[in-house]
Chains A and B, each alone.
Chain A
Amino acid sequence: MPRRIGDVILEVEDLHTYCFTRWGVVKAVDGVSFSLRQGEALGIVGESGCGKTMTALSLLRLVPRPAARIVKGVIRLQGENLLEKSEKEMRSIRGRRISMILQDPQTSLNPVFTVGNQLVEAIKIHHRDGRRSLARRAIDALKQVRVAAPERRVQDYPHQISGGMKQRVVGAIAISSEPRVIIADEPTTSLDVTIQAQYLKLLREIQEETNLALIFITHDFGIVAKMCDRVMVMYAGRPVESGPVRDIFNRPSHPYTQALLRSVPSMDEDVERLASITGQPPALWDLPTGCRFAARCPHADDRCQHDYPPSFVVGDGHSADCWRLEAECRPSRSSALTA
């Protein structure tokens, strides 16, 4: 069954999540906007510390308290603003309407409970059901993630199964309550390449079966190229470029995106020399007033140092924040991803 890209299901507007620490305010997420449609896969790409994981945690209102707080913004899930929900209401949204797959299955499963126990625990929150029927649901969930012999696997403890299998169990827990949105935070980084390929294929199949909306948080453009319809590139807490995957690959318009794409060695062709990005990202508690990439950008001039560039429309649904686009592109009023 082919995927149908449907209506907007999740909308994020001008999200700001700050961490208040002894050393100052860390602006982990500083003005992120995007929207996600039913059946769509969105990639959020960036390096560690760019705010991509904090963005994901903000969507579930799971930012580490008391240090971190969502200070501004709107997160609209099927029309309802999640930031106005009480903690009790959020509990019924997490898992049931948005759920998350974390990077490391080793730490997201509890070592002292069986796989079946942990699946039932997740299902029980949303389905009041008898013991036997819950057990059947757990087995069904494992079947859905193509685990062989699920009747036996439910009795296993996490240490008895392999890493790839564990990540499948985590996936089964995430989809067990039939959420509309799944956030996958680096879901395959801890897996081997052939296991990664199996897992990505599985996610794609589940997405086709259920018309899920998926958000991939990753640092790997390869995952984006393989899995995503649209991509948002983040740098130092802000999206710097976003658009349809092919447009981003064919016409990267922000110098950071360009540099990132050229700094990755290719499997498919010989690269004479990798373009490397000099320096490091700025500290999030001491951000420059101008463009955050200016210090590492080969094209930066005076204005880049002082003024943060607005978003310019590069193409259909494709926008980038860079002053160099001013001459040829019109500024976009809102971020391009809020279509």
Chain B
Amino acid sequence: MQAEPILRADGLTKHFPVTQGVLWASVVGWVKAVDGVSFSIPQGETLAVVGESGCGKTTTARLVLRLEQPTAGHVFVDGRDVHALSGDALKDYRTMVQAVFQDPWSSLNPRMRVRELVAEPLVVNRTASSHEIKARVAEILNAVGLRPQQADLYPHEFSGGQRQRIAVASALVSHPKLIVLDEPVSALDVSIRAQIMNLLVDLQKQYGVSYLLIAHHLATTRYMAHEVAVMYLGKIVERARTKELFRNPLHPYTKALFSAALPAHPDVVREEMILSGEVPSPINPPSGCRFHPRCPFAMRHCSEIEPEEKEMAPNHLVACHLY
């Protein structure tokens, strides 16, 4: 039996109401952003959630961060239901779970010095004395590759890569167990991305922190993640250990994503599988398997019956009628 994972999501669901009218607005439909998603992350590991825009990966992250209330389902961090927390337990949660966002130009308060930005999680949660905070900030700045003298500068004095280092430092300062990384490198320049990816991988080894990585770039997940979950229209369609998934993708959508990924060399020829059409609206998602209108292998019952997750190999789950 494995130890309790750091993060466990169980049947997580978030539906947003679609309203009509300004006063006396009435609900005319539901955006099924996340619809019954389950996953878990053991300590010190990275789970990547990949998918296209509108698949619900960011809503999933926001649910884990307690920025949204789930319509149904639960998120457990360290065994406790995140959305039922209050008082001291909630404070604990807030030091335990941190986030790094995509755009370091908008995620750092321009009026705060680096020292204040990085110390913020400690100050807000009042877990340390000012002396401890100072020492901790210096230590963490060093860990992310910034000089202690830079602590008194403002964010605008840094480049994108350095800003993202500040964001990572701020996320890491309170000894979190889980960091949600929402597209942490996509806003950065190519030559800087590798620096930040390496830093995140190193810090994980050093501190044993778990990552929930939200990404759309498959190569990034191959480099950073231990396990990958592929989302489509609010559902996880396939989930496997990274090595297994890249060796043997099963779901037609996963295959299409792989086929669409750009090659690393002109001689790499991928199996051509270009999907027709676009992702349908999550307001009225297709019946049955949500992927069936775009699926080249769709059969008749795909539009009628929703496929259940099947375990094709150890820890390799896929929701598709083909299997």
Give the interface of A toward B (CB within 8 A): 47-48, 162, 164-165, 192-198, 201, 219-223, 225-226, 245-246, 249, 259-260, 263-268, 270-271, 273-278, 280-281
Contact = CB atoms under 8 A, between A and B. Distances in A.
Given A194-B52, A197-B259, A249-B265, A47 B189 contact: yes
B267 interface: yes
B299 interface: no
A225 B268 CA distance: 9
Contacts of B216: 192-193
In the A-B complex, the 8 residue pairs with the smallest Cβ-Cβ separation, listed nearest first, are A222-B262, A197-B260, A263-B194, A265-B223, A276-B194, A192-B52, A274-B194, A265-B219
B176 interface: no
Contact of A274 (B198, B243, B256): B198
B27 interface: no
A266 B270 CA distance: 14
Given A194-B256, A273-B198, A280-B161, A249 B266 contact: yes
A222 B274 contact: no
A47 B190 contact: yes
Contacts of B246: 267
B198 A276 contact: yes
A219 B192 CA distance: 12
Contacts of A281: 191
Interface of B: 52-53, 159, 161, 189-195, 197-198, 216, 218-220, 222-223, 243, 246, 256-268, 274-276, 278-279
A202 to B, nearest CB: 10
Contacts of A201: 274
Contacts of B159: 280
Given A197-B274, A249-B265, A264 B197 contact: no
B180 to A, nearest CB: 20
A263 B191 contact: yes
A164 B278 contact: yes
Given A194-B52, A194-B257, A273-B198, A266 B190 contact: no
Contacts of A271: 222-223
A300 to B, nearest CB: 16
Contacts of A195: 52, 278
Contacts of A278: 195
B53 A192 contact: yes
Contacts of A273: 198
B193 A246 contact: no
A327 B193 CA distance: 33
Q: Select the residue from A245, A246, A274 with max chain B CB neighbours within 10 A.
A: A274
Q: Select the residue from A162, A193, A225 with max chain B CB neighbours within 10 A.
A: A193
Given A201-B274, A274-B194, A220 B262 contact: yes
Contacts of A264: 190, 193-194, 219, 264
B238 to A, nearest CB: 15
Contacts of A198: 274-276
Contacts of B243: 270
Contacts of A259: 191
Contact of B262 (A225, A246, A270, A276): A225
A246 B261 CA distance: 19
B191 A277 contact: yes
B268 A193 contact: no
B193 A263 contact: yes
A267 B53 contact: no
Contacts of B278: 162, 164-165, 195
B192 A280 contact: yes
Q: Select the residue from B189, B258, B265, B266 with max chain A CB neighbours within 10 A.
A: B266
A226 B194 contact: no
19 contacts: A47-B191, A192-B52, A193-B260, A194-B52, A196-B262, A197-B274, A198-B274, A219-B190, A221-B264, A222-B261, A225-B263, A263-B194, A265-B223, A267-B258, A276-B198, A277-B191, A277-B194, A280-B159, A280-B192
Contact of B264 (A162, A267, A274, A277): A267
Contacts of A275: 194
A327 B175 CA distance: 53
B266 A246 contact: yes
Contacts of B258: 267
Given A198-B274, A266-B219, A275-B194, A246 B263 contact: no
Nearest to A197: B260
A271 B259 CA distance: 20
A194 B198 contact: no
Given A194-B275, A198-B274, A271-B223, A225 B189 contact: no
Nearest to A195: B278
A287 to B, nearest CB: 17
A260 B192 CA distance: 10
Contacts of B274: 194, 197-198, 201
Given A48-B189, A198-B274, A274-B197, A268 B223 contact: no
B222 A193 contact: no
A226 B266 CA distance: 6
